[in-house]
A and B are shown apart, each in its own frame.
Chain A
Amino acid sequence: MNTARTPIRLKGSQDRLQKALKAVDAMHHQLIELNEKLLCAEALKTRFLALMRNEINNPLNDIMGLADRIMDPLVPTEKARHLATLVKDEAFQLDCQIRNVFCAAELEAGEAAACLARVDVESVVRDVMDSFRPSAEAKGLEVTLHLDLGNPSFLSDGEMLHHILANLVANAIQFSDPPGTVVVRVTGGVDRLFLEVADQGPGIPESNLKEIFEPFHPHGGIYKVQRGQGLGLPVVKALVDLLYGELKVETEPGQGSRFLASLPSAPAVDEMGAAATDDNILIFDEPQAF
């Protein structure tokens, strides 16, 4: 009786063993996958810390050093005023970086909701230009604005427009050497708004074009972190995505770069969400419950 049952029992054990082996194999693959994710997370953390040191710590040290000099009673008023301008400039850069960190966190959490309203585009653009002009001039750069709007107001998120343009202008100034010109061109304003920022900087090699939109990926590798090479472009790209727009970059090494954000007005955003490619009016049938 026992000998008759043995093959069945063995077969059962073999099946169980095969199942267990398959489970081990699947777990092994999951572990490999998890390990890869951990390595990526570790690399991201390292890059984040390098960026924090560069973007947050260094300006803070500068601000503290400059403040010490201003506090010196022997420093003449005129000199103190100049130092105060430098403090403001450093604080402004710091503010931009911190805003990018918070904005990236909101975007990654899916919480960066667009607040749609009629936006006075000219006022947004001029505000950005006024904020960056002092640092551009201090660097010996010229910033020119070409504004040609078909409509004074545009249905979009004003704060996001401001953030997109501010990051593009900040990058253009960052990567330009004197005596260069940064050209900001804002056109459209009826169905679409076009924000264009061109610089005469070193340009971006084709091999690095994808990297520039990755968080904390400086062009020359993580050991050559420079200011402004952190979250700016990834944030711009995500904001443009959120507004259903497109971001293009044209660049050639030695010839500068040109970034163009093309954004639809908000009603068109809804239509595109519904994929109404040729119809302007959307009609929905009777709702069904699920």
Chain B
Amino acid sequence: MTVRTHYLFPCMVFTHRQEHLVTTVLGSCVAVCLQDSAMGMGGINHYMLALWNGDGLPTPKYGNIAIETLVRSMLDQGCTQNRMSAKIFGGANVIQACRGHFNVGGRNIDIARELLGQKGIPITAEDVGGDFGRRIIYNTNTGLVLVSRLKPIS
């Protein structure tokens, strides 16, 4: 049987009981892949900024909303929080001039670590930071993630 595919856009969350190969492309954005191995199902988000500051709708554009939404969506589908594990990807520092407080990628990584830590969800693998984009392909059934790093050519 052919595995279904899905392209995940920024600000989106995807969870499914059936096996899917989810592709997304990350720059300074971060994707959290969440797995409940006992259920054999997983979900993924793709957020652009760390925290929702009350401006506009509380959408998964923001890490704190995206992580909360992903966990809730998994729980709604019968997963158990203490069986969940996470893998995080992205958070590149794509604009060299943006360091310190303006390092969007770094802040995106920090919020994932902090919120997952608060929820007691262990991070079992990660490929974060650097100054290159990434394309990831996530298997929602096995939890396997294939990461390709972006090589810009002139």
- The 3 A-B pairs at the shortest CB distance, nearest first, are namely A275-B27, A110-B13, A284-B148
CB under 8 Å from chain B, chain A span 230-286: 231, 234-235, 237-238, 241-242, 244, 269-270, 272-279, 281-286
Query: A237 touching B56 by the CB < 8 A rule?
Result: yes
Q: Name the one of A110, A214, A273 contacting B56, with C-beta atoms under 8 angstroms.
A: A214
Query: B150 touching A282 by the CB < 8 A rule?
Result: yes
Cβ of B11 < 8 Å from any Cβ of A? yes
Residues of B that sit less than 8 Å from A by CB: 9-14, 24-29, 45, 48, 54-61, 65-66, 69-70, 73, 87, 89, 92, 94-95, 125-127, 133, 135, 137, 144-154
Task: Report the stretch among A46-54, A101-109, A147-155, A198-206 that lies at the interface.
Answer: A101-109
Q: A107-B57, A114-B9, A273-B25 are in contact. Are A290 and B94 (CB under 8 A)?
A: no
Q: Give the residues in chain A near B29, CB-CB below 8 Å.
A: 273
Q: A110-B11, A110-B66, A275-B27 are in contact. Are A290 and B147 (CB under 8 A)?
A: yes
When C-beta atoms are compared, the residue in chain B nearest to A238 turns out to be B57
When C-beta atoms are compared, the residue in chain B nearest to A107 turns out to be B59
Q: A110-B69, A214-B54, A290-B87 are in contact. Are A238 and B59 (CB under 8 A)?
A: yes
Q: A242-B10, A282-B152, A290-B87 are in contact. Are A273 and B26 (CB under 8 A)?
A: yes
Interface centre among A237, A282, A289 (most CB of B within 10 A): A282
Distance between A162 CB and nearest chain B CB, rounded to angstroms: 18
Distance between A214 CB and nearest chain B CB, rounded to angstroms: 7
Residues of A that sit less than 8 Å from B by CB: 104, 107-114, 210, 213-215, 231, 234-235, 237-238, 241-242, 244, 269-270, 272-279, 281-290
Distance between B56 CB and nearest chain A CB, rounded to angstroms: 5
Q: Is the interface of B mostly helix, strand, loop or mixed?
A: mixed
When C-beta atoms are compared, the residue in chain A nearest to B89 turns out to be A290
Q: Give the residues in chain A near B54, CB-CB below 8 Å.
A: 214
Q: Give the residues in chain A near B28, CB-CB below 8 Å.
A: 275
Q: Give the residues in chain A near B126, CB-CB below 8 Å.
A: 290
Q: Name the one of B12, B66, B69, B154 contacting A113, with C-beta atoms under 8 angstroms.
A: B12
CA distance A114 to B13 in the complex (A): 13
Q: A111-B12, A270-B25, A289-B144 are in contact. Are A241 and B125 (CB under 8 A)?
A: no
Query: A110 touching B45 by the CB < 8 A rule?
Result: yes
Query: A285 touching B151 by the CB < 8 A rule?
Result: yes
- Kindly list 5 other residue pairs between chains A and B, CB separation below 8 angstroms, not including A213-B56, A290-B127: A109-B60, A110-B66, A279-B152, A288-B148, A289-B147
Query: B57 touching A287 by the CB < 8 A rule?
Result: no
24 interchain pairs, CB-CB under 8 A: A107-B59, A110-B11, A110-B60, A112-B12, A210-B55, A213-B56, A215-B57, A234-B57, A238-B59, A238-B61, A241-B56, A242-B9, A273-B25, A275-B28, A276-B152, A277-B95, A278-B154, A284-B149, A285-B148, A287-B137, A287-B147, A289-B144, A289-B145, A289-B146
Distance between A263 CB and nearest chain B CB, rounded to angstroms: 14
Query: B146 touching A288 by the CB < 8 A rule?
Result: yes
Q: Give the residues in chain A near B153, CB-CB below 8 Å.
A: 279, 281, 283
Q: A244-B10, A283-B153 are in contact. Are A213 and B55 (CB under 8 A)?
A: yes
Q: A242-B11, A273-B10 are in contact. Are A288 and B56 (CB under 8 A)?
A: no
CA distance A167 to B135 in the complex (A): 34
Query: B61 touching A286 by the CB < 8 A rule?
Result: no
Q: Give the residues in chain B near A113, CB-CB below 8 Å.
A: 9, 12
Q: Give the residues in chain A near B94, CB-CB below 8 Å.
A: 275, 277
